[in-house]
């Protein structure tokens, strides 16, 4: 089987996980890296023995010799980099948040569609082993037809030491973390027609909101709650676990802290350990996220080779990104926001 050659742009905090995962992915390897910070370029180049190094993405694309690009920079550069990739007809993976605005995200999808190149957003949380286990239980009919759900991420973990920029933006938890939780809600319960949200800032040392409570009306008629907080101190820190509650026509499902999945239906109750694997390069508590990075990157390669759509294609992710913008709009205005109108 031919091995795809990839380039990674943005050698920062999270890219280390992506580089480790690329080493484990079957059917692809990273042959070039790019970062405008010479120190990061050197650190990652030496750690992963990558000889082709660039400080300017335009030079990387001009030199060519790559089958795809993995964009791991922060959001400010996503549109520009995806558009250069489209111009050079190079399939692209783009980290979340997809873009600064929904209008930018739509333009990026259009640029790739017009160029005929695949675009996938690195929205990895739906690829976490416990979330896949929830999806499987639903698909197996374990609780019948769901009518209510809750997707909850409440933590007091210090994310700012690894990612200091998170303390500086006007927007914080919905854009950075809630985006994952909203994507999980869509993945499990389907697309959303309306969003109502309330936000708060509890930590006085950051600029944006660190608590959000979001009510989703799904197109199927199901109601769900997405609640996220980085201001919640608990006896056992749950970071980075997403807890799930689903009630259905034939039973209920609970994904509890500690990666325990309980299903109750007419057959009784079952309890399963759905812990993620601790990959050789991973470390707790991040191993859940790290395993999902490997899973989404393997999915990228497999689908690219088959010429098939990606689960979190640019087009798919517009529907998650629209929920982020709608949540901010609802929190600012106090009103419920219609999603179909936003996506038009």
Judged by the rule CB under 6 A, the positions of this chain that interact with ligand 89V are 159, 163, 176-177, 180, 240
CA 26/CA 1 separation, integer angstroms: 10
Across the beta sheet with 223-229, the strand order is: 268-273, 260-265, 251-256, 243-248, 146-154, 223-229, 211-218, 192-200, 337-338
CA 227/CA 215 separation, integer angstroms: 9
Neighbours of 334 (CB within 10 A): 9
In the complex with ligand NAD, which residue's Cβ is closer, 37 or 262? 37
In the complex with ligand 89V, which residue's Cβ is closer, 96 or 218? 96
By CB under 6 A, residue 252 contacts ligand NAD: no
By CB under 6 A, residue 35 contacts ligand NAD: yes
Least separation, in Å, of the C-beta of 329 and ligand 89V? 22
Q: Which of 20, 79, 122, 126 binds ligand NAD (CB under 6 A)?
A: 122
Kindly report the length of the chain: 344
Q: Which of 48, 73, 154, 263 binds ligand NAD (CB under 6 A)?
A: 73
By CB under 6 A, residue 21 contacts ligand NAD: no
Non-local (6+) Cβ contacts of 161 within 8 A are none
**Of ligand 89V, ligand NAD, none, which one does residue 85 interact with (CB within 5 to 8 Å by kind)?**
none
Position of minimal CB gap to ligand NAD: 12
Sole residue written with tokens 């979001």: 214
In the complex with ligand 89V, which residue's Cβ is closer, 242 or 330? 242
By CB under 6 A, residue 239 contacts ligand NAD: no
Q: For the chain, first and last CA: distance in Å?
A: 41
In the complex with ligand 89V, which residue's Cβ is closer, 91 or 240? 240
By CB under 6 A, residue 208 contacts ligand NAD: no
CA 227/CA 220 separation, integer angstroms: 20
Neighbours of 141 (CB within 10 A): 12
Contact residues for ligand NAD, defined by CB under 6 A: 9-15, 34-37, 40, 57, 72-75, 77, 95-96, 122, 124, 163, 176, 289
């Amino acid at each position: 089987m031919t091995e795809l050659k990839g380039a990674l742009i943005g050698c920062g905090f999270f890219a280390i996980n992506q580089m480790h995962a690329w080493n484990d992915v079957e059917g692809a390897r990273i042959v070039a890296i790019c970062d405008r910070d010479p120190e990061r370029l050197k650190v990652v180049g030496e750690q992963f023995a990558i000889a082709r190094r660039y400080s300017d993405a335009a030079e990387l694309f001009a030199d060519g010799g790559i089958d795809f690009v993995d964009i791991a920079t922060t959001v400010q550069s996503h549109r520009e980099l995806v558009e250069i990739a489209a111009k050079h007809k190079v399939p692209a993976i783009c980290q979340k948040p997809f873009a600064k605005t929904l209008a930018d995200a739509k333009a990026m999808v259009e640029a790739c569609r017009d160029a005929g190149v695949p675009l996938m957003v690195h929205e990895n949380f739906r690829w976490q082993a416990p979330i896949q286990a929830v999806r499987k239980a639903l698909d197996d009919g374990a609780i019948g037809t769901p009518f209510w759900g809750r997707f909850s991420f409440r933590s007091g973990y210090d994310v700012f030491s690894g990612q200091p920029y998170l303390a500086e933006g006007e927007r914080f938890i919905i854009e950075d973390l809630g985006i994952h939780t909203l994507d999980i809600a869509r993945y499990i319960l389907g697309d959303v027609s309306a969003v109502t949200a309330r936000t708060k800032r509890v930590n006085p040392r950051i600029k944006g909101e660190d608590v959000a409570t979001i009510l989703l009306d799904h197109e199927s008629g199901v109601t769900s709650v997405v609640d996220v907080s980085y201001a919640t101190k608990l006896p056992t820190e749950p970071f980075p676990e997403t807890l799930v509650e689903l009630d259905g026509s034939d039973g209920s499902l609970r994904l509890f802290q500690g990666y325990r999945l309980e299903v109750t239906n007419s057959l009784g109750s079952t309890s399963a350990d759905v812990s993620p694997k601790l990959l050789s390069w991973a470390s707790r508590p991040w191993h859940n996220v790290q395993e999902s990075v490997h899973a989404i990157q393997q999915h990228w390669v497999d689908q690219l080779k088959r010429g098939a759509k990606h689960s979190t294609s640019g087009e798919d992710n517009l529907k998650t990104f629209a929920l982020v913008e709608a949540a901010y709009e609802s929190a600012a205005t106090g009103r419920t926001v219609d999603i179909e109108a936003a996506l038009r």
